[in-house]
Amino acid sequence: MNHRTKQKDRAFAGIVLGIYLLFLCWLILFKLADSMDKIPNMRGINLIPFHYDQLAGSRFHLNEVLYNVLVFIPAGFYFCAFSGNKAIRGIAACALLSLAFEAAQWIFALGASDITDLITNTAGGAMGAIVYHIFRKVFKGKAITIASMIGAALEALCFGLLAVLFLTNRTVRFS
């Protein structure tokens, strides 16, 4: 692969990563709210790992843990790819990003900061680093390109589904 193609592939991956990070910010900090009045105004903190309020069922907590892991897999993949193929740097970047999100939630009263989220998000980042190293072995020099194409397709699908969701919910008004 020539130098110019490699630069284009990295630029494309950077754009896909940037869009993903914006979506992640909207998801974690603003809970996918489509208007300012729907953004939660609460501040809480839980420093006991995997300790939950008993009001919600255990199935909810398992789903939340799984979603936290899944949503950070792309971060682990890209952070590892952009950190010189160093898994520990990619995982550390995921942990710092998660910590920044948890701190922002507490500082700006956007939700509850939870140590469990930090743990599960970092675990997702570690899985993303593993996926990156598998992609490197399978796809050789095209790992970032192929992952970015998949990521761009998934982002387009997500934004399309969200657009349909928002449009259909805006047209139906209940009094």
For the chain, what are the domain ranges?
A: 12-166
Q: What is the pTM of this model?
A: 0.85
Sign of CA dihedral 153, 157, 159, 160: positive
Give me the count of residues in the chain: 175
| Token pair recorded at residue 90 | 């990619």
Span between the terminal Cα atoms of the chain, in Å: 60
Residue-wise pLDDT tens digits, 123-134: 999 999 999 999
96 or 64, which is more confident: 96
State how far Cα 16 lies from the chain centre. Answer: 12
Q: Exposed (0-12), middle (13-18) or buried (19+): which is 163, by Cβ within 10 Å?
A: exposed
What's the rounded mean pLDDT across residues 108-132?
Answer: 94
Highest mean pLDDT out of 38-47, 91-100, 149-158: 91-100
What's the rounded mean pLDDT across residues 150-159?
Answer: 93
